[in-house]
Amino acid sequence: MRSLALIAVAAALLAFLCSQLQPAWSPRYLAVLFGPLLLALASVLSRGTRWTAAALVAVAGVWLLSGLAPAKSNVRTVATTVAPAIRPGDLVVVTQPEQVPVLHRYLPGGALFLTPLGVVSDPRVTDWRDGVARVRDGQAERVLTPLVDQLAPGRRVLLVMPVYKRVTQAPWPRAVRIRTREWRASLRADPRLRPLGRAPRSTFPRRRSGVRTELFEVR
């Protein structure tokens, strides 16, 4: 039991210290500690009924003190709002690649997804391989503009951009911010595109992963 607890504490401490050097921590990464902590708890419960009762009381206390999780994202609200304007064959431009799977879930089928990583072959998953380098190389003139130029008149382009609560200099969000500014400026300056408006902002408080959209139509 002591060894398992030591493994869990050491892993959490090491992750925390590394995150001070490179801000890449997310609370969901604590899931890796679930295994050793579960085995440690099983060891405690095997010691007798008093320990079992104490553990059950502790679990009940956590349940009572825990409320509903805050809304993590407004993607569902934004996607369902703009969905009636999207038709099969339209282009969905997502400057934050990891948002594609959830957008694919709530937007109408048949749309083509494009990110700074390139055209998304399977919108159900995100290909993280060499992600930072590929986003840095995903300039609008090389990735975005050639695809927009192929769209027929009447096609629509939905631009989905992240909303950051705080600015961080971590490599991934910084690269995404740079591509977002560049791609948004490219679409707004394209004379072939007519702006149709923006989706309203979500009313969810304290969202941790928000997006905003702009809609264009090819003249």
Q: What is the pLDDT of residues 140-173, one digit of tens each?
A: 999 999 999 999 999 999 999 998 777 777 888 8
| Cβ atoms 92, 111 nearer than 8 A | yes
Sorting pLDDT into bands at 50, 70 and 90, what band is 17?
confident
Q: Given the structure tokens 């394209």, which residue do they identify?
A: 190
Model pLDDT for residues 93-127, shown as the tens digit of each residue: 999 999 999 999 999 999 999 999 999 999 999 99
pLDDT of residue 216: 96
Distance separating the N- and C-terminal Cα atoms of the chain: 68
What number of other Cβ atoms are within 10 A of residue 132's Cβ?
Answer: 14
What's the CA gap between 178 and 198, in Å, rounded? 21
Selection from 25-29, 32-36, 179-183 with the highest mean pLDDT: 179-183
What number of other Cβ atoms are within 10 A of residue 101's Cβ?
Answer: 16
Q: Which of 122, 139, 119, 138 is nearest to 130 (CA)?
A: 138
- Give this prediction's pTM: 0.75
Cα distances (Å, whole numbers) of residue 26 to 36, 48, 174: 19, 36, 17
Q: Under DSSP, is residue 153 helix (H, G, I), strand (E, B) or coil?
A: coil
Q: Could you tell me what percent of the chain has a pLDDT over 70?
A: 91
